Amino acid sequence: MSRAATLDETSLRSILTWAAERQAPVTASLISEGRWCNLRSHVIRYDGQAHVLQIVYPISTDTMAPPEITAGEELGLSLRRGHKKCVFVCQVLMRRLDKGGDGQALDTLVVRAPRQMRELQRRVYQRVIIPEERFIATRLWQGGLPSPGEPCWPICSGRVANMSLGGMLMDIRADQNPRLGVGDVVGVEITHMPGREPLMAEAQYRHCVMTGADRIGIGLQFVGLEHERPGRTGISELAEFVRSLRAGGARIDREE
């Protein structure tokens, strides 16, 4: 099953204890100065009584300098455990200089441990190839999703060529190339079923490939899915959509 399961408190604490014991790697996301940042770190310790988690100060997954993370910010975190991925959101409490196992100074973040954690099967991160005869319409907006009532035209429209919970490839006409830069944030609308509310998410542009004589594929990585934000589709609903694509017989590619 690919649905996101909300874990009970006992399971949540068990997973955080496991992550601290193994110094588990984590990926992190947050909004800094109006843009999404994807970061990486690993867990150092978990204090179940104080209900706090300590991680190494996150660094960027690309060449950009890591943002300044301050107390009160919401940090989305995810970690892998076997064939599942656990996602949750923590509030930053403080930045603290600590000592690593080798006695050297270590820059860390102390965050409030989550009260809620969702667990997903990692297979929802495998790309599902959408058959050409199935048209799933999608549109992009520059800079993220527009605010409700805000007059804003999409920069391009096309169809979903493949998709996972990690991202998607959007197939468009070559003359609609939005000429985005790597890391640019876009708003994504996916009309997965006529007559129903579309799926809405934000993503970062990653690459562009030629898919035909006059067609290109826009590679996008979803960002901020750990965070529940108004006007955005939640991670559980997106995971369910990917599951429905798999169940409908679409071809599976590989895990991202």
Co-location of 153 and 49 in the same domain: no
DSSP state of 21: H
- Binned at pLDDT 50, 70 and 90, residue 254 comes out as low
pLDDT tens per residue, range 154-170:
999 999 999 999 999 99
Helix (H, G, I), strand (E, B) or coil at 12: helix
- Pick the last residue of a domain from 116, 134, 168: 116
Distance of alpha carbon 233 from alpha carbon 227, whole angstroms: 10
- Pick the last residue of a domain from 83, 116, 149: 116
Co-location of 111 and 176 in the same domain: no
Compute the mean pLDDT over every residue in the chain, rounded to the nearest whole number: 88
- Binned at pLDDT 50, 70 and 90, residue 73 comes out as very high
The answer to whether residue 184 scores a pLDDT higher than 70 is: yes
Co-location of 142 and 230 in the same domain: yes
pLDDT tens per residue, range 36-63:
888 999 999 999 999 999 999 998 876 5
pLDDT tens per residue, range 134-153:
899 999 999 888 887 777 89
The CA dihedral of 69, 71, 72, 75, to the nearest 10 degrees, is 40
For residue 133, the domain's CATH number is 2.40.10.220
What per-residue confidence (pLDDT) applies to 253?
63
For residue 38, the domain's CATH number is 2.30.110.10
Return phi, psi of residue 238, to 5°.
-65, -40
Q: Is the pTM of this model over 0.85?
A: no
State which residues form the domain around 226: 124-255
The answer to whether residue 75 scores a pLDDT higher than 60 is: yes
Distance of alpha carbon 234 from alpha carbon 232, whole angstroms: 6
Q: What percent of the chain has pLDDT over 70?
A: 93
Co-location of 189 and 229 in the same domain: yes
- Binned at pLDDT 50, 70 and 90, residue 248 comes out as low
